[in-house]
Amino acid sequence: MANRFQLPNLGIGLGLRTTHYATILEHRPAVDWFEILTENYLRTEGRPLDFLDQIAESYPVAMHGVSLSIGSTDSLDRQYLSELKALRDRCQARWVSDHLCWTGVAGKNTHDLLPMPYTEEALAHVADRVRAVQDFLGAPLALENPSSYAQFAADSMSEWEFLGRLAEDADCALLLDVNNVYVSSRNHGFDPLTYLNAIPFDRVVQFHVAGHTDHGTHIIDSHIGPVIDPVWQLLGAAHARSTGVPVLLEWDAEIPSFEVTHAEALRAREFIGAAA
């Protein structure tokens, strides 16, 4: 059974990080695929692209961005979209993803994934922009549920309702980050299975897993350390509802050796059965 966008199940992948470049290029380890951080390879003509070109020759690549700012009330950045398209073509990215968030307003970029108000106004606004981006790219955009630490007082619906309605209204794909579901469930006090039960899984084309930091009063999506068992179990629950889509580990702080990182990603096999 394939997802409705017919995007391939690439298997278990890793977020490509600079600290692993040398190991990857020297040893060509058997990794199913890599996800690149889009903005690392924009606005450069130099060394980052040299590395990417070599890695994309040997491995399937998908692009994961953090500056699309799909929820912002500023105009869409057409130059950024052009650069996105050019990079996708350059590295033959299998798909392009970003986050359900905004990163700035009034011409400034905070470079953070800021939370959306979950209102009818915001839903209509984001759906219009997703459609515009997909038209520009000529391909589905996969939107990821971000971790959040705040909820707007004006919210009139839950995040899962917003995400599900957005996906249907804009006809877009979803990247479901099960660590983010877990983090937000703890920060906002909801049952993560309630979230999963509302997701249109035929639109989910990829899963993310990651570590986080528990501060007691709240959890920060730090991408530090191994994935905790409750998040792995949530991946298992999500994967069982899915059409069988790729899983990717993000590890962005205190990054260990390539071998350790890859071994952590492969733990996904224990929770998703033989499907991957």
Partner 1 sequence: MNREATADAVGLHERASATPERAGALPPAALGAAPAWTAGELGLRAQQEWFAAIISTPQEQAAPVDERSASRLIAPSATLSSLERIDIYRRGYHARLIECLLDDYPVLAHSLGEAAFDALCRRYIARHPSSGPSLNYFGRHMAELCRSEPLPQPGFAADLARLEWAIVLAIHAPTSEVIGFEDLSQVPSERWPGARFRVNPSLAILHLEYPANAYLQAYRQGKPTAPPGARPTSVAVYRTGRSVWRLELDPTMVALLESLAKGATLEAGLAEVEALLAHETAEELGRKVSHCFQHSVSSGLFSAISL
Instruction: Name residues contacting partner 1, limited to 210-249 (CB under 8 A).
Output: 210, 213, 216-218, 220-224
Task: Give the number of other Cβ atoms within 10 Å of residue 74's Cβ.
Answer: 14
Element (H, E) at 173: strand 173-177
Smallest distance from partner 1 to CB 2, Å: 26
Cβ proximity to partner 1, 2 vs 44, nearer residue: 44
Contact (CB, 8 A) for 73 and 101: no
C-alpha closest to that of 132 among 68, 66, 38: 68
Please give the structure tokens belonging to residue 189. Answer: 């006090």
42 binding partner 1? (CB under 8 A): yes
With CB under 8 A as the rule, give the number of residues binding partner 1.
71
Does residue 107 belong to the site contacting partner 1 (CB under 8 A)? Answer: yes
Residue with tokens 């459609």, as numbered in its chain: 131
Q: Interface with partner 1 includes 144 (CB under 8 A)?
A: yes
Residue 152 binding partner 1, by CB under 8 A: yes
Q: Is 30 helix (H, G, I), strand (E, B) or coil?
A: coil
Cβ pair 264, 15 in contact under 8 A: no
Under rule CB under 8 A, residue 76 binds partner 1: no
Helix (H, G, I), strand (E, B) or coil at 138: coil
Residues numbered 186 to 205 that lie near partner 1 (CB under 8 A) are: 187-189
Q: How far is the CB of 274 from partner 1 (least distance, A)?
A: 29
Strands 219-220 and 213-214, how do they pair? antiparallel
Interaction pattern, residues 165-184, with partner 1; x per rule: CB under 8 A: --------------------
Does residue 102 touch partner 1 according to CB under 8 A? yes
Near partner 1 by CB under 8 A: residue from 2, 150, 260, 263: 150
